[in-house]
Structure 1
Amino acid sequence: MTTTFDRFDAAGARRIRDTVRSVYERAYVDAIASGDPFEQPGAFMERFDAYTDPARPSGFELVVAAEDAEPVGQSWGWPLGVRSGWWGGLRLDSGDHEEFTVEDGHRTFALSEIMVAREHTGRGLARALHDELLRGRGEQRATLLVDPGNDRAYDRYRRWGWHRVGTLRPSWPDAPTFDVLVLPLPHNGR
């Protein structure tokens, strides 16, 4: 099986919106079936549309993994700008909140999503998507939010070098409280 990775900016991501939704629906089967309003495809796509909104600051990047030309996974994120709302509601475990949340568009890359269609899990695709999205980033660090009850994802992130710095509940409707993880990035630029 041949795995390929394709990169898309915000405009390109919007053009493959149906693919993004399809991968989500195949990756989050159980979460969708739970009935949780935050996990429903419509709510997910509202968030995706906001992330890729042309009025939003640039920098959004989507990586799609395909096996034999079939999209089977995706990951995306963007650099946090000066006016980013990402840190709203952050509760740090320790340290200076103000210093930690200062952004300039080059300090922090927000890794928003990693997902693999259920029928393709267990073969290292999540790690490959993670590494492909973060490869060559120029920011000092990356951050992501993880459900503290998702032991499988949490354990993987820890093995990949991420560490917890606090908690945060996003402002999205029905959003749960997540643990905030951070990963220092090498300064190799793009």
Structure 2
Amino acid sequence: MAEVFLRRLTRWQAEQQREAIADLYVTAYREPPGAAPPHGPTADTGPVAHAAPAGAPSAGAGFPDAAGPGPGAAGGGLAETGRPGGGRPEGGAPGAGLARGGLTGSGFSGSGFSGGAWDREAAERTRAGAERHSRRAFLDRFAEHVGQPEFEMIIASTPTLVGFTYGFQADRARVWHPGFQAGIPPEIDELTYSRPVFSLAELCVLPAHRRQGIATRLVDQLLTRATGPLATATVDATNPPAQHAFASWGWSRTGALLPAAPLPDAAREPDREAWSRRLGR
């Protein structure tokens, strides 16, 4: 198997490679033939961290390749488990694709729930994933993210591009918009009250290169120069693989987020939760 090399891109280089990066993103979030329908970002299966609603950065879901504790450990969405559909996470659980994830399948087809609440829910999840993980939606987000303060991006190549992650500094109010269901934890409130956090916005690894620890390496390298007291990412609340992945990387669940107000005619977003890791700088 070809050796995978990591490289940090400047803001200018990232902008020049946006088309290739978008190609990888779309592929990472595409459900592989025969794969079980994904239910959010997963480890080592595709994007894990995922983009949050407009104006709120979050981790992707196409990074399912991080080794984690037990089945479905996340390692790619934030590392390689994107929200969209994306094969199986490193731990073997069905994947859905950090950080910054889509839901491309329902898992209820032909299960006797036709016409009921399950089918409606499945249709909404499929539509939400298609909207969020389209090439155009990604390029629009990327154009805005690349201009943010302290933008950092790491790519993985063989030399062909096989994965990437990026993040930037942002005000906590934007990152956790519209807020926590139970209020911001006191220790996190004190830590971030007057300082911005580092938002891990996207993390994707191609299906053929998952379960090789690439997502883990990408995240580790990204955070080496991240500034601020805290790194944070947003994942779907119903994605255990992504949660296991973050936990295996030393991240902690910060809390469940309030649902963002939907745009007119927009598909319902899945429930989200924030995960954080102290940077100590």
TM-score by length of 1: 0.81
Identity %: 24
Q: Per-residue deviation at 1:103? A: 4.3
1:52 aligns with 2:141: no
1:146 aligns with 2:235: yes
Distance between the aligned counterparts of 1:176 and 1:48, measured in 2? Answer: 21
Partner of 1:65: 156
Q: Per-residue deviation at 1:153? A: 1.7
Change (3 A) 1:171 1:70: farther
Distance between the aligned counterparts of 1:128 and 1:186, measured in 2? Answer: 20
Partner of 2:12: 11
Distance between the aligned counterparts of 1:76 and 1:8, measured in 2? Answer: 10
Distance between the aligned counterparts of 1:7 and 1:98, measured in 2? Answer: 31
State whether residues 195 and 229 of structure 2, in contact with CA within 8 Å, keep that contact through their aligned partners in structure 1.
no
Higher helix share: 1
Partner amino acid for 2:163?
A: G
Q: Per-residue deviation at 1:10? A: 3.0
Q: Give secondary structure in 1 for the equivalent of 2:201.
A: strand
Decide which structure has the larger Cα Rg and report it. 2
Higher strand share: 1
Partner of 1:184: 278
Distance between the aligned counterparts of 1:93 and 1:11, measured in 2? Answer: 40
Distance between the aligned counterparts of 1:109 and 1:178, measured in 2? Answer: 18
TM-score by length of 2: 0.57
Structure 2 unaligned spans of 5+: 32-83, 86-103, 105-125
Distance between the aligned counterparts of 1:167 and 1:140, measured in 2? Answer: 20
Alignment root-mean-square deviation, CA: 2.5
State whether residues 167 and 200 of structure 2, in contact with CA within 8 Å, keep that contact through their aligned partners in structure 1.
yes
Figure out how many residues of one structure are paired with residues of the other and give that number. 180
Distance between the aligned counterparts of 1:177 and 1:10, measured in 2? Answer: 31
Q: Give secondary structure in 2 for the equivalent of 1:23.
A: helix
Distance between the aligned counterparts of 1:170 and 1:145, measured in 2? Answer: 13
State whether residues 63 and 75 of structure 1, in contact with CA within 8 Å, keep that contact through their aligned partners in structure 2.
yes
1:78 aligns with 2:172: no
Which structure would you say has the larger RCO, counting Cα contacts within 8 Å and 6 or more residues apart?
Answer: 2
Q: Give secondary structure in 2 for the equivalent of 1:85.
A: helix
Q: Per-residue deviation at 1:150? A: 2.1
Distance between the aligned counterparts of 2:3 and 2:215, measured in 1? Answer: 16
Change (3 A) 1:109 1:60: same
Distance between the aligned counterparts of 1:156 and 1:44, measured in 2? Answer: 23
Distance between the aligned counterparts of 2:201 and 2:26, measured in 1? Answer: 17
Q: Per-residue deviation at 1:172? A: 8.4
Q: Give secondary structure in 1 for the equivalent of 2:255.
A: strand
Aligned runs of 1:1-190 on 2, under 5 Å? 1-30=2-31, 31=84, 34-35=126-127, 36=129, 37-53=131-147, 56=148, 58-67=149-158, 69-81=159-171, 85-91=174-180, 93=182, 95-96=185-186, 99=190, 101-105=192-196, 108-168=197-257, 169=259, 174=267, 175-187=269-281
Structure 1 unaligned spans of 5+: none
Residue-by-residue CA offset, 1:83-132 (whole Å, 9 max, x unaligned): x6223212154634864652434xx2111111101111111111011111
Q: Give secondary structure in 1 for the equivalent of 2:211.
A: coil
Q: Give secondary structure in 2 for the equivalent of 1:91.
A: coil
